[in-house]
Copies of this chain bind each other. A is one copy, B any other.
Amino acid sequence: MPLHYPNGNLYHNDAKARPKKQMARSQTRFDNRGMSLEEEINESNQFYRAHDIAVIYKKPLPLQIVKVDYPKRSAAVIKEAYFRQPSTTDYNGVYRGYYLDFEAKETKNKASFPLKNFHQHQIEHMRHCLRQAGICFVIMRFVSLNRLFVYPASPLIAYWDQQNTGGRKSIPLTDIETNGFEVHYALKPRIPYLTAIDQFIATLTIEKGDHHGQ
């Protein structure tokens, strides 16, 4: 049962649709038990919340509700609703006083990350959050390489803007290795991306001092 957004993009909700590839990958990954990237991040966020390390959630999908039945003595049943294009990124929350805002994306490419994985509204949202001194990034997975990165929004936006003036349509892995922060799979949590965020924040502090002083 494939779901699509109104713009035709596929909606991924769980990993059930692709068990075979997950099985193949699990040989080189650390106990992933066929989870999707989204599930792994949700589980990591749950771990971070349970241990009072950070409060980060995936936002619910925005829906346009058209028709609701309200049977007596029962919960309301939505009988007609449509998926709406989200106007923001998928995840946000708070960590050590910092506002975190990010997307999770993956590619099968081996040498670069295609910009077509992103939407204009996500880029604009990150641009606005950056102006408010939010910590904005993408958790990128290179499926074939089995490598994960936290890649900051600033270079992503720079690549995005350049593609309209003849720039390349993807971010080279070498740039992601340079400007990003690699994350290694672990047990608790599965994707310990806040370690990479600590490194990321450290570079910001050096550059900007107190980011509240902007």
Contact = CB atoms under 8 A, between A and B. Distances in A.
Contact of A70 (B2, B6, B62, B68): B2
Contacts of A80: 77-79
Interface string A171-197: 000000000000000000000000000
B52 A97 contact: no
Interface SS of A by simple majority: mixed
A132 B55 contact: yes
A54 interface: yes
A135 to B, nearest CB: 9
A134 B55 contact: yes
A78 B81 contact: yes
Interface stretch (A32-40, A87-95, A111-119, A149-157): A87-95
Contacts of A129: 55, 94
B70 A3 contact: yes
A28 interface: no
A55 B128 contact: yes
What 9 A-B pairs are tightest by C-beta distance, nearest first? Answer: A97-B133, A94-B99, A78-B81, A94-B134, A99-B99, A60-B62, A94-B132, A97-B212, A60-B60
Interface of A: 1-6, 11, 49, 52, 54-55, 57, 59-63, 68, 70, 75-83, 87-88, 92-99, 101, 125, 128-129, 131-134, 210-212, 214
12 contacts: A2-B70, A55-B134, A60-B61, A60-B62, A60-B63, A61-B63, A75-B82, A75-B83, A78-B80, A81-B81, A94-B99, A97-B134
